[in-house]
């Protein structure tokens, strides 16, 4: 069994789509980034790569590579899962938390879990998503940014 930890932090920008866990959430602001800015999926990718001893998302998908400009982060996730498979590893479980002041994310958890589980080759019950606010404090609390953390367990395939 192998365990990995992932973290990501993105600025919020007016007029961008908000994508979290591969799901578009109506908001009016979205996460800035070279790809779609999906901080939750990026944190999960980093946790998976960490658990496999494969470095981090920036090494595999550099933000200088035009191939990943505006790319769906689910595409990156699918590629990470493929790289794990090539090492004889499969994902057993994911837990995660999004840190955001607004909007309310709980109504979107079920779709995020289904969407991420499909990309990971898991059942939604093995992919947990939670959310926290910072009670108005710091950049996240002022609505200037969102963060995400993830932890994963890998098993031998």
- Closer to Mg ion by CB, 32 or 137: give it: 32
Q: How far is the CB of 122 from Mg ion (least distance, A)?
A: 22
Q: How far is the CB of 155 from Mg ion (least distance, A)?
A: 26
- Closer to Mg ion by CB, 68 or 109: give it: 68
- Closer to Mg ion by CB, 79 or 90: give it: 79
Report which of 10, 155, 4 is spatially closest to residue 85, judged by C-alpha positions: 155
Report which of 102, 120, 89 is spatially closest to residue 21, judged by C-alpha positions: 120
Angular region, 64: left φ>0, alpha ψ -120 to 50, beta rest = alpha
Q: How far is the CB of 42 from Mg ion (least distance, A)?
A: 4
Q: Which residue is nearest to Mg ion (CB)?
A: 42
- Closer to Mg ion by CB, 71 or 153: give it: 71
Q: How far is the CB of 156 from Mg ion (least distance, A)?
A: 29
| 62 vs 76: CA distance, rounded Å | 11
| 157 vs 128: CA distance, rounded Å | 21
Residues of this chain that bind Mg ion (CB under 5 A): 8, 42
SS3 156: strand
């Amino acid at each position: 069994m192998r365990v990995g930890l992932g973290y990501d932090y993105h600025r919020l920008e007016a007029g961008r789509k908000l994508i979290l866990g591969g799901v578009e959430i109506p908001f009016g602001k979205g996460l800035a980034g070279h790809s779609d800015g999906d901080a939750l999926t990026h944190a999960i990718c980093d946790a998976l790569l960490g658990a496999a001893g494969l470095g981090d998302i920036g090494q595999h998908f550099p933000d200088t590579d035009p191939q990943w400009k505006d790319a769906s982060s689910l595409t990156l996730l699918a590629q990470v899962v493929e790289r794990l498979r090539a090492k004889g590893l499969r994902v057993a479980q994911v837990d995660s938390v999004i840190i955001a002041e607004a909007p309310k994310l709980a109504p979107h958890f079920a779709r995020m879990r289904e969407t991420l589980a499909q990309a990971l080759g898991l059942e939604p019950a093995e992919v947990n998503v939670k959310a926290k606010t910072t009670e108005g404090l710091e950049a996240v609390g002022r609505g200037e940014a969102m963060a995400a953390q993830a932890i994963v367990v890998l098993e031998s395939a």
